[in-house]
């Protein structure tokens, strides 16, 4: 007998990787369904530590965040999306590059001209 696994647990584990989370959110954005995007964003938030962690990092109340992430709670996102679509553009999500993960670049050589 095959063992089954919980898809939600698998999803949340995979969304802990910023590149996976960015791809997941971009796929949700591409669908054009902003309610679906907000649900995907909630999954990413859960994978990253949950609403309490987000409230602490953003200095916003959990109630305010839940309202913002509800299907009808973020008119700014809807308006922005409509404006971008009207001019042939769309939103994209990219993982934030931390200073630790960036490769060290050599400093440019400067010469003094006499």
Q: Which of these, 48, 47, 51, lies nearest to 8 by C-alpha position?
A: 47
Whole-prediction pTM: 0.76
Distances (CA, A) of 32 to 9, 22, 48, 82: 26, 16, 24, 10
- 26, with CB counted inside 10 A (0-12, 13-18, 19+), is middle
Summary mean pLDDT of the chain: 84
Q: Which two tokens stand for residue 77?
A: 């996102």
| pLDDT tens digits, one per residue of 12-30 | 999 999 999 999 999 999 8
In this prediction, residues 64-69 reach a mean pLDDT of 90
In this predicted model, what pLDDT tens digit does every residue of 26-46 receive, in sequence order? Answer: 999 988 888 899 999 999 999
Measured in residues, the chain has a length of: 114
Q: Tell me, what's the pLDDT at 108?
A: 47
Residue 2 has pLDDT above 90, yes or no: no
């Amino acid at each position: 007998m095959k063992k089954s696994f919980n898809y939600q647990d698998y999803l949340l584990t995979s969304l802990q990787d910023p590149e996976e989370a960015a791809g997941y959110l971009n796929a949700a954005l591409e669908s054009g369904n902003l309610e679906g995007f907000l649900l995907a964003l909630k999954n990413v938030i859960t994978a990253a530590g949950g609403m309490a962690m987000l409230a602490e990092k953003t200095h916003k109340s959990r109630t305010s965040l839940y309202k913002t992430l509800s299907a009808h709670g973020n008119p700014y996102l809807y308006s922005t999306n409509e404006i971008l679509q009207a001019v042939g553009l769309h939103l994209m999500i990219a993982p934030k590059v931390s200073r630790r993960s960036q490769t060290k670049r050599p400093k440019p050589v400067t010469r003094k001209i006499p």
